[in-house]
Structure 1
Amino acid sequence: MKITLPTVLTLARIASIPILVLVFYLPYKWTNLAAAAIFALGALTDWLDGWIARRFGMYSKFGAFLDPVADKLAVAVALVLIVQRHPTWLMALLAAVIIGREITISALREWMAEIGQRAKVGVAGLGKIKTIVQMVAITTLLYYQPIGQFPTLLIGESLLAVAAALTLWSGYAYLHAALPAMAKSDAEHD
Structure 2
Amino acid sequence: MKFNIPNALTWARILLIPLFVGVFYLPDSTLPILDKNLISCVIFVIAAVTDWFDGYLARRLGQTSSFGAFLDPVADKLMVGAALVMLVELERVNALIAFIIIGREITISALREWMALVGASRSVAVSYIGKLKTTAQMIAIPVLLYHDTLFGVHVRPIGTALIWVAAVLTLWSMGYYLRRAQQALKDAGEV
TM-score range, shorter chain: over 0.9
Match of 1:7 in 2: 7
**Alpha-carbon separation, structure 2, partners of 1:188 and 1:140:** 43
Q: Indicate if the aligned counterparts of 1:6 and 1:53 stay in contact, CA closer than 8 A.
A: yes
Instruction: Pick one of 168, 171, 175 that aligns with 2:171.
Output: 168
Report the CA distance between 1:188 and its aligned residue: 5.2
Structure 1 gaps of 5+ residues are none
Structure 2 gaps of 5+ residues are none
Match of 1:43 in 2: 48
Cα RMSD (Å): 1.6
Report the CA distance between 1:125 and its aligned residue: 2.2
Report the CA distance between 1:184 and its aligned residue: 4.3
Listed as ranges, the matches of 1:142-181 within 5 Å are 142-147=145-150, 149-181=152-184
Instruction: Pick one of 65, 69, 75 that aligns with 1:70.
Output: 75
- Cα deviation code 1:46-87 (max 9, x no counterpart): 000111112221101110000000000000010000000016
Report the CA distance between 1:183 and its aligned residue: 2.6
Listed as ranges, the matches of 1:1-150 within 5 Å are 1-26=1-26, 27=28, 28-29=31-32, 30-86=35-91, 91-147=94-150, 149-150=152-153
Q: Indicate if the aligned counterparts of 1:4 and 1:60 stay in contact, CA closer than 8 A.
A: no
Return structure 1 stretches of 4+ with deviation > 3 angstroms.
none
- Cα deviation code 1:82-104 (max 9, x no counterpart): 0000166xx11111110110011
Q: Write 1 or 2 for the structure with the bigger share of helix.
A: 1
TM-score, scaled to structure 2: 0.92
Alignment size in residue pairs = 186
